[in-house]
Amino acid sequence: MPAIQNQQTSLAVFVSINGTELTNHNRTVSIAEETNVSDVETSAGRLKRFYKPNKRSLSFSFNYLPNNGDKTADGRVARDFIENLVRTAPKVLVNYKDDPTEANKQFYGFISSYSERIVRRDLPTQCTYYDVQFNIEEV
């Protein structure tokens, strides 16, 4: 992968999708984990609790996100990459860090929702800026 001129290496990589680093440009992220348990009463009157694997979800919100990665603050991929994933990738591999001191966590998921709104078209630079929101849920 070629070196990107304006990429700041001091920024910790927080999220990568399918091995590609996602930009930190005006991004907010919410991480949720759904606990799946079921309580069953046995014929003897005892209560048993069964734990199923927890499902994680990430919700992303970008403000003023350019369509090209060369216009982002850190030089990483931007709206065009995300929009292409929505159209073509039924399953994505997500690597993320919710704490900079911990190891990466990963899971396979799918993009459950996506919305975008054009904020500005910059004709001299041929760049379009968007507000983008999308969610990834664990399979």
Average pLDDT score, the chain: 88
Contact 67, 82 (CB under 8 A): no
* Residue (of 114, 107, 98) closest to 13 by Cα position: 98
pLDDT band at 1; cut points 50, 70, 90: very low
> Quick check: 3 pLDDT over 50?
no
Q: What is the pLDDT of residue 119?
A: 97
CA-to-CA separations, 19 to 30, 48, 78, in angstroms, rounded: 20, 41, 14
Q: Looking up tokens 């983008």, which residue turns up? A: 132
> Quick check: 131 pLDDT over 90?
yes
Q: What is Dmax (Cα atoms) for the chain?
A: 76
- Give the three-class secondary structure for 4: coil
The share of the chain scoring above pLDDT 70, in percent, equals 91
Taking only the tens place, the pLDDT of each residue in 74-114 is 899 999 999 999 999 889 999 998 877 888 899 999 999 99
More confident residue, 92 or 33: 92
The β-bridge partners of 32 are 57
> Quick check: 5 pLDDT over 80?
no
Q: What are phi and psi of 25, to 5 degrees?
A: -60, 110
Tokens read off for 54: 């927890």
pTM metric for this prediction: 0.79
Q: What is the pLDDT of residue 52?
A: 86
